[in-house]
Chain A
Amino acid sequence: MAKMMTGYDAVAEAVKACDPDVIPAYPITPQTDIVERISEMVADGELTSEYVRVDSEFNAASTALGASAAGARTFTATCSQGLKLMSEPLFSASGMRLPLVLAIANRSLSAPLSIWGDHTDTFAERDGGMIQFYAEDVQEAMDNIAMAYRVAEDEEISLPALSCLDGFILTHVQEKVEPFSRKEIREFLPERSPVHTLDPSDPKTMGAYARPEHWTETRYEVHQAQLKAKDKIAEAVEEFANIFDREYGLGYNGLLETYRAEDADVLLVALGSVCGTMKYIVDEYRQRGEKIGIVRPRVYRPFPTEELCEVLEDAEAIAVVEKDISLGYQGGLAIDIKSALYSNGSRIPILNFIVGLAGRDVKKDNIKNIVEQTKELRGKLPEDIEFGKEERWEPLRTELLEDDKK
């Protein structure tokens, strides 16, 4: 039965249904409510997990890694600076092929200090071998936890997975969701069967030293597992739809979803909750007969290269709208999409809009401005956009800048 739930409640409920053995926890806004809610479940006896109150995020991720090495199903959550502190053990977890599932309540990184949301934190972890899911709404944030476990713990994959939901926008908003029970989850999510486990009666060394003659191949295997995860995500969304009757990008292997994209000549690409506002604007344009659509990657790593090429190839102009910037170049998503499309022979002009950093609202007018600027590029080529002008800030309050920076 549907219930009104905040994003943090929904994630905690999902974790309860997935029933991890070990949950190391350390608070950070706006994630705190997830582990706080879980601690209540443990205290009330609803969840029998070992709840470990650790002294830092480094310790949280390390404890999860150790527990995973011993064969346990684990969960932890964090964001922002906390994710930075977890970064080192998370890179190790992927190299050691240890599945961990984390909920990330996406938030910006200092400085300046900000407690509000954007995607800077998880984009900074891009190259660490972690699978990255992005949810558009509370229901998806909940469902992605179950899918993250299934894919991460698959014997062939064995990697950490970050299940991302926009800080505050999704963690603290109430939406109607269909919760799932432990009984239903058992059908979808098999027990973990670890490849190797730490066991004193059969000692082995994990995360050992590798010489130059071996390191490359271990990294290559992590890369192969990432690519293989695409098939596993495709299987997971299909199975999920069968059991729970909720569909996530079935036509695109579960890696992306589209909205009114089929015949669109202008396509907006974005991750997460901002797509809700974008749908509203797209409907307005469609009412006037203008062919605008949305493509929303659900997964950023592994990167849905083929699926994006397929869905974007007939557009006349593309706007990549994102809440991060690789300082000194462009937004990370735009960089990857250009690389995928242009190496596939595409000649579609692409603009990159940096929006919603550190919780700045992305308003209807911002989306309209983005659509209008992108519409102007129809019928043009990538080289028609002046080099260095592909990336635009929507909006940039130039009145706040010192005079010589305008």
Chain B
Amino acid sequence: MTDDPYKNLKISKGAVVKPRTSLVNKTGSWRSERPVVDHEKCVACGNCEKFCPDMAIKETEEGKFEVDLDYCKGCGICAEECPVKAIIMKEEEK
């Protein structure tokens, strides 16, 4: 894990901070369902990446769309927006 940039953070006027400090806030733990991409079905249209409110879907170098589970909150928008139903939401298990 990266060093916590919030540790001993001094507050500047207006609480202006360097970018990317929020990367330590792993919002993936909020998820109750996870998106699973079926790469056979996927036509690489990029809709899921565009619509994800957390920018948790990225295109890999091989042109595949993968979910970053560290940050995906499991909202299901990607599954809703996929035109070929290549994403299903699967319940998280403890």
Chain A residues engaging chain B, CB cutoff 8 angstroms: 95-98, 158, 195-196, 203-211, 213-214, 217-218, 221
Contact = CB atoms under 8 A, between A and B. Distances in A.
The 3 closest A-B pairs by CB, nearest first: A97-B14, A96-B14, A196-B16
Contacts of B25: 209
Interface of B: 6, 9, 11-19, 21-22, 25
For the complex, would chain A's binding face be called helix, strand, loop or mixed by DSSP majority?
A: loop
A159 to B, nearest CB: 10
A215 B26 CA distance: 19
Contacts of B6: 211, 213-214
A234 to B, nearest CB: 22
Given A195-B13, A196-B16, A208-B15, 10 more contacts: A195-B14, A195-B16, A196-B14, A203-B18, A203-B19, A205-B17, A206-B15, A207-B15, A208-B22, A214-B15
For the complex, would chain B's binding face be called helix, strand, loop or mixed by DSSP majority?
A: loop
B13 A97 contact: yes
A204 B16 contact: yes
Contact of A95 (B12, B14, B19, B22): B14
B18 A204 contact: yes
Contacts of B18: 203-205
Nearest to A158: B13
A98 B19 CA distance: 19
B14 A98 contact: yes
A214 B15 CA distance: 9
B15 A218 contact: yes
A97 B22 CA distance: 20
A221 B6 CA distance: 18
B16 A205 contact: yes
Contacts of B15: 95-96, 206-208, 210, 214, 218
A45 B53 CA distance: 42
Given A211-B6, A213-B6, A214-B9, A158 B14 contact: yes
Contact of A206 (B14, B21, B22): B14
A209 B21 CA distance: 9
A86 B21 CA distance: 28
A98 B13 CA distance: 10
23 contacts: A95-B15, A96-B14, A96-B15, A158-B14, A195-B12, A195-B16, A196-B14, A204-B16, A204-B17, A205-B16, A205-B17, A205-B21, A206-B14, A206-B16, A208-B17, A208-B21, A209-B25, A213-B6, A214-B6, A214-B9, A214-B11, A218-B11, A221-B13
